[in-house]
Amino acid sequence: MPVQTIKERNAGKVGVVTIGATQEQGGTRTSVVKIGGESSLPFLHFEGEMPNKPVIAMEVVDRVPEEWNDEVKNAFTGVLDNPVAWAKKCVEGCGADLIFLRLQSADPELGNKSPEDCVKTVKDVLAAVGVPLAVVGCGVDEVDNKIIPAVAEACAGENLLLGFASQENYNTIVAACMVHKHNLIAQTPLDINICKQLNILITEMGLTADKIVLDTNIGGLGYGIEYAYSILERGRLGTLQGDRMLAMPTLGTVGFEAWKAKEANVSIEEFPGWGEQKERGILWEAMTATALLQSGLDLLVMRHPEAVKLVQKNIADLMEPSSV
């Protein structure tokens, strides 16, 4: 009996955001990353296009992240106090598509570094690696409103991905992205409506939709991942139905969320039933990533090289054209 494949006809598609710029484009990157462009649900190649594969950005912090799990820190032994070497290791050793640089030491309580110092760190990382860069601040609005514009100005031409814009604090960073031609991460607290509202506020300031990446906030495995999943799914469905204020590629801070979980961190001695911590922690991060890939995540910010490897393999498999 002949079976007809049911295909959804979609009116809209995810916009494409390009991060980084090569020499011809006015920057110094050796490669650029394009994300988005999907016209179907995730990996349904028979139904629509998925021109760009999901990419992995690896997290680099400009101070030694003492609080991180030893298992993650061990993977970067010798480079943790040097963001430049750390970034290099991510790209050369792990095949990271981007570097996600957190300027945490600008936080008054974590080093209180000046905007000039922050700019220098970014410049040094740019000089050391050829992949595009995402740069985010320390999370203190007043501080970030000084350092991110400084970075934006100093790195004009590099087409960075800068974060974070939130509903309470978006003017300064949006203006910096517009003037110096960078991309922006719009961050909202697990709510599709607020996500859309922030996009409207940002685009009404004049930044075009193809310069915005959405961070709808995710929850890690076992800690609210289902909310993140359904939000991303609603976003994609909205996009496919033609809602242009949701049609931006998405980003998720997978490593940050997954390694917060107790399950990723405690030892087998403490919880014998949970098995070896090393493997468990890596899988906690990888599982968080793979589940969210199924809901349409375009850019995964990750930490552990082994988890990255597993997810790279998963992405490669999922990008194989399907037989139907």
Partner 1 sequence: MDKFSVTIMPENLTVYVPQGTNLINAAKTAGIDIESPCGCRGTCGKCQVKIINLGGVDCPDSDYVLACQTRVEKDMVIEAPQFSRLTKHKVLLSSEEKESLLEHGYFKDVEVNPLCKKIYAELDKPDLTDSMSDLDRVRMHLMKNCGIEDVKISISALRKLSNVVREGDFNITLTIVTIKDSAEIINIEAGKPDSPSLGLAVDIGTTTVVVNLIDTENGKIIDSAGTYNKQSAYGSDVISRIVYCDENDNGLELLQKAVIETINELIDTVLKKNKINKSDIPVMVCAGNTVMSHMFLNMPPTFIRLEPYVPGASKYPVVSSKDLGININPDAKVITLPSVASYVGGDITSGVLSTLMSKSELLTLFIDVGTNGELVLGNSDWMVSCSCSAGPAFEGSGITCGMRAMDGAIDWIEIDKESMEVKVRAIGNKKPLGICGSGLIYSLSEMLDSGIIDRAGNILENGSSIRVRMGNEGKEFVLVFAKDSGSGRDVVVTEGDIKNLIRAKGAIFAGIRTMLQQVELDVDAIDRVYIAGGFGNYINITDAVNIGLFPDLPADKYAYIGNSSVHGAMLVLLCQEALYEIEDISDRITYIELSIGNKFMDEFISALFIPHTNLNLFQRCGV
Report the chain's terminal Cα–Cα distance, integer Å: 16
Please state the closest distance from residue 107 (CB atom) to partner 1, in A: 24
Closer residue to partner 1 (CB): 94 or 246: 246
Q: Minimal CA–CA distance to 137: which of 156, 118, 117, 109? A: 118
Closer residue to partner 1 (CB): 159 or 250: 250
Q: Is 68 exposed, middle or buried (0-12, 13-18, 19+ CB in 10 A)?
A: buried
Please state the closest distance from residue 96 (CB atom) to partner 1, in A: 35
Q: Rounded distance, CA 17 to CA 33, Å?
A: 8
Inter-residue contact 58 to 303 (CB < 8 Å): yes
Inter-residue contact 35 to 52 (CB < 8 Å): yes
Please state the closest distance from residue 167 (CB atom) to partner 1, in A: 6
Please state the closest distance from residue 205 (CB atom) to partner 1, in A: 9
Residue numbers at the binding site for partner 1 (CB under 8 A): 167-168, 171, 191, 193-194, 196-197, 200-201, 204, 245
Please state the closest distance from residue 200 (CB atom) to partner 1, in A: 6
User: Could you tell me whether strands 299-302 and 55-61 are parallel, antiparallel, or unpaired per DSSP bridges?
Assistant: parallel
Q: Rounded distance, CA 223 to CA 250, Å?
A: 20
Handedness of CA 300, 20, 191, 41 (dihedral sign): negative
Closer residue to partner 1 (CB): 246 or 289: 246
Name the strand (E) or helix (H) holding 165.
strand 161-165
Please state the closest distance from residue 193 (CB atom) to partner 1, in A: 4
Please state the closest distance from residue 66 (CB atom) to partner 1, in A: 36
Closer residue to partner 1 (CB): 201 or 266: 201
Closer residue to partner 1 (CB): 206 or 272: 206
Helix locations, the chain, DSSP H: 70-74, 83-94, 115-128, 141-154, 171-180, 192-205, 225-240, 254-258, 262-265, 277-293, 305-319
Closer residue to partner 1 (CB): 18 or 203: 203
Closer residue to partner 1 (CB): 104 or 167: 167
